[in-house]
Amino acid sequence: MRVTKSFLIFNMYKDYMKFNKKLLKANYKGTYLFEILVDEEKKAYQYYLIDFDNLSVTWQETPFEKYDVKFSTDDAIMLKITNKQVNPSKLVAEKKIKAEGKQEYISKLTSDFFPTVPKL
């Protein structure tokens, strides 16, 4: 399965619109940033940064945790998540996801790997 720029952008946007209306999308030198306000009282945000040149996704929830996510674009996607604040070299989670369909890709990425995003 080939993961294209438009495919990722569309699915990230579509998937996170249901969590919060304050989703921002920015284009910076081939990199796309998604900012989601997940808790208005605590001013908690989640950031998804997609770098298409390096095929990497960075996820960050402020101000507590930061993870890096790497994936390949063949028939499977390998996600490696490390908590940089605790120990930059320690692998927190690793999972191989078989990517069979467009709808499946982002939903598996979020449900299997990322903490649940609260609905406001």
pLDDT digits (tens, 9 = 90+) for 38-66: 556 665 555 555 544 444 455 444 333 33
- Which of the two residues, 50 and 116, has the higher pLDDT score? 50
pLDDT class of 12 with cuts at 50, 70, 90: low
Per-residue pLDDT at 43: 56
86 versus 37: the higher-pLDDT residue is 37
Asked if the model's pLDDT at residue 117 lies above 50, the reply is no
User: Cα–Cα distance between 39 and 26 in angstroms, integer?
Assistant: 21
Phi, psi of 90 (to 5 degrees): -80, 130
Q: Is 83 part of any domain?
A: yes
Residue 120 lies in a domain: no
Whole-number average pLDDT of the chain: 44
Query: Can you give the pLDDT at residue 78?
Result: 36
How many domains does the structure of the chain reveal? 1
Is residue 118 domain-resident?
no
Domain that holds residue 86: 5-113
